[in-house]
A and B are shown apart, each in its own frame.
Chain A
Amino acid sequence: MLKLSGLTVASTALAAHAQPPAPDYTLDIAAYELEAGSHRTIRTIAYNGQVPGPLLRVQEGRPVTVEVTNQTAGSEVVHWHGLFLPSSVDGAMEEGTPMIPPGGRARYTFTPRPAGFRWYHTHIFAGKDLHKGQYTGEHGFLLIEPRDNPARYDQEFFLALHDWDGQMLSSGDGAMDPVYEVSTINGRVLGFGEPLRVKSGEQVLLHILNSSPSEVHWIALSGHQFKVVALDGNPVPQPQVVSMLRLAPAERVCALVEMDHPGTWVMGEVRKHIMAAGMGIVVEYSGSSGKPQWNQPNQLIWDYLPFAAADPSPPQQPDTVTIPLVIESKFAGHGAMDHWTINGKSYPDTASPLLTAGRRYRLAFINRSTNDHPVHLHRHTFELRRLPGHPEVHGILKDTILLDAGTQVEVEFTANDPGPTLFHCHQQNHMDAGFMMLFQYA
């Protein structure tokens, strides 16, 4: 058994003598047959025989231990996405977190912070195997209970958007990309799982996660609107009412919904072919019945900007260090996935910029590719500072942001968590094809 406690990793023998106390949570990683719909069984890997994995509710600042058993034939590691954790326990092999061998066991002991809606997921290489890594059901919700909730609510639901049964097919840009047969919310296609049961007059808080290996999703709830109160688990300066949500892979949205339109409704993917593949869930008011209603929106709407702070953005601090990151693709054949480069290099040959603890850094993303990229910085939260077509912004704190094709985005973060820090595209096939780099602290 491996014991990962902060920066400490104990050997099997040591752990056996130590007689560790019972963990707060256990996760068993094992093969699982997901019944996503009638006649739609998906052979995958899951945590504790369920998709998504169990909801882990923890208190901010109170240490927690999660014991993970790997019953699969391959090595595994669990990444705690959006948390400020030591590199040895963050859950990325590239940062130094030990892998859990087949049949092995590990303990992750950490002090959860910051408060908010986080998640956990596998962080292994999948390559051409579309039944490994994030293509599987290895994802779950992690809620770090805040001292004050971002909003008052009567009921809360946790929803995970996911895509399954992928295969590599030719795409419009001449390379291979994954295309999926089945899309689900909480592992079920529309109409197969239990509906979200609500009452008229309730305020419902939705915690929505896009755990898809590669797909961006737009979500609407017919007859209702969303009041977005947090992005990636962090309260936004200006909560806004919107008709639909856009979530890139790994992004989370917390939104309040006023249940003021009794009936039976569909909440699901706005794009018709994804809805047809199953991405939807029924929302049923108490006392209502009948066929769920879906009002098809006629456009896709989303912008980060309205959630930014209203006051003028402070100028960039003079001692902020700007790190330009140019993202490009390298053609590898019409029968292969593109290779990805950051400043001309693919991981593991990418540069490892040295960070000085306490200093402010601005990452200037220049996406020269024809693909959108949900980029994620481990172990830190960054602030959006420049969005395409907009002047300086501030106040939106995230750990993942979607870089639209051919655009430039800038974010800032403070180097306040020493240790190797991974940065990568959260699209599994992109990170596997070189879109990763490691920041090091001086």
Chain B
Amino acid sequence: MRNWLCIVVSLAALVSVKPVRAQGNYEIQVYGAATVEPKSTMVELHSNFTPEGEKYVIDGVYPTNHQLHETLEITQGLTNWSEVGFYVFSSWQDGHGVQWVGDHIRPRVRVPDSWHWPVGVSLSTEIGYQRAVYSPDTWTWEIRPIVDKYMGRWYWAVNPALERTWHGPDIKQGIGFSPAVKLSYDFSRKISGGIEYYADYGRLGAFDSLHNQQQQIFAVTDLNVSPKWEINIGVGVGPTASTDHLIIKAILGRHFNWKKPSLLN
């Protein structure tokens, strides 16, 4: 694991930092280590509404207040240890209508079950473009180690993500550190609840002041109604000045299996 982190940091050093708010409010999710099975596809719709956010245009970027973000995520399983995801980001706001925001691609690999590791470990990398009116840094890159584990009724996941900007005003700012953490508890077979924490501390080695950091805490519930469906609903608050103060998020996912259904498989 330590070696993996070294590799991640070294790779991240080759590119430049992403801005604080480039995509955070489009896909608000702490990743688990599991990948989508081969010959199957996960289609997710991320719906995020900001009832209380930034109210003014800053550096040509539209305010987030009362923005509704709809993100379509399509993830295709490649092998039993790899997948690739595609994103289409969109935004709706009074006065701007529905706008295309950008697209990302996200390959991901994980430690296979056959290695018998005591925790789930995965590594994703995400590259993409977003329009300057939604993020001044238009080309960004992220690498996200993922560690998770189920322990009885408890589940935890940690995503210490590192981010870089490839094109935009923050290109020279170095590596940004944006961790995400989830802790949840299974109240029943179908209902889990917990908290998710998202942050952007700024440049690695020279974190922003607390005032300028982004930090969000969500109360979430996961509804495990069927192996085919994924439902995650949450309400988040941003206590720091640089964070949208109130966000409502929902993820609705449907798993499609393209394998011929057979007990022989």
Contacts and interface: CB of A to CB of B under 8 A. Distances in A.
Nearest to A297: B264
Interface stretch (B126-134, B151-159, B161-169, B210-218): B151-159
Given A167-B113, A174-B189, A181-B114, A335 B264 contact: no
Nearest to B263: A300
Given A167-B113, A169-B113, A174-B189, A332 B152 contact: yes
Given A179-B113, A270-B264, A331-B188, A336 B227 contact: no
Given A167-B113, A179-B113, A335 B153 contact: yes
Interface in A275-317: 296-300
A333 B3 CA distance: 32
B40 interface: no
B232 to A, nearest CB: 14
Grouping DSSP codes into helix (H, G, I), strand (E, B) and loop, the A interface class, with mixed when no group exceeds half, is loop
A42 B209 CA distance: 54
A389 interface: no
A300 B153 contact: no
A271 B186 contact: no
B150 interface: yes
Contact of A335 (B114, B150, B263, B265): B150
Contact of B150 (A167, A271, A297, A334): A334
A222 B44 CA distance: 44
Interface in A137-183: 165, 167, 169-170, 172-176, 179, 181
Interface residues of B, number: 21
Interface in A331-349: 331-336
A386 B150 CA distance: 40
Interface in B31-45: 34
Contacts of A333: 150-154, 186
A331 B186 CA distance: 9
B150 A170 contact: yes
B227 A172 contact: yes
A272 interface: yes
B21 interface: no
A39 interface: no
Contacts of A173: 189
A17 interface: no
B149 interface: yes
A47 B81 CA distance: 37
B189 A335 contact: no
Interface of A: 165, 167, 169-170, 172-176, 179, 181, 270-273, 296-300, 331-336
B264 A299 contact: yes
Contact of A331 (B114, B149, B189): B189
A271 B189 contact: no
Q: What are the 5 A-B residue pairs with the smallest beta carbon separation, nearest first?
A: A335-B150, A333-B153, A333-B152, A331-B189, A336-B152
Given A331-B189, A333-B186, A298 B264 contact: yes
Contact of A296 (B113, B149, B151, B264): B264
B93 interface: no
Contacts of A331: 186, 188-189
Contacts of A332: 152-153
A273 B150 contact: no
A270 B224 CA distance: 32
Given A299-B264, A331-B189, 19 more contacts: A167-B113, A172-B227, A173-B189, A174-B190, A174-B224, A176-B150, A179-B113, A181-B114, A271-B263, A271-B265, A298-B264, A300-B263, A332-B152, A333-B186, A334-B155, A334-B186, A334-B192, A335-B155, A336-B150
Nearest to A335: B150
Interface string B176-216: 00000000001011101000000000000000000000000
B149 A272 contact: no
B49 to A, nearest CB: 29
Contacts of B186: 331, 333-334
B183 to A, nearest CB: 13
B116 interface: yes
Nearest to A176: B150
B206 to A, nearest CB: 38
A335 B157 CA distance: 13
Contact of B152 (A165, A271, A335): A335
5 contacts: A174-B224, A271-B264, A272-B265, A335-B149, A335-B154
Interface string B100-115: 0000000000000110
Nearest to A274: B264
Interface string B38-70: 000000000000000000000000000000000
B257 to A, nearest CB: 12
B34 to A, nearest CB: 8
B235 to A, nearest CB: 23
Nearest to B186: A333
Interface in B85-121: 113-114, 116
A128 to B, nearest CB: 11
Contacts of B113: 167, 169, 179
Contacts of B188: 331
A299 B262 CA distance: 8
B116 A167 contact: yes
Contacts of B265: 271-273
Nearest to A173: B189
Contacts of A181: 114
A39 to B, nearest CB: 13
Contacts of B224: 174, 334
A335 B34 CA distance: 14
A400 to B, nearest CB: 22
B29 to A, nearest CB: 18
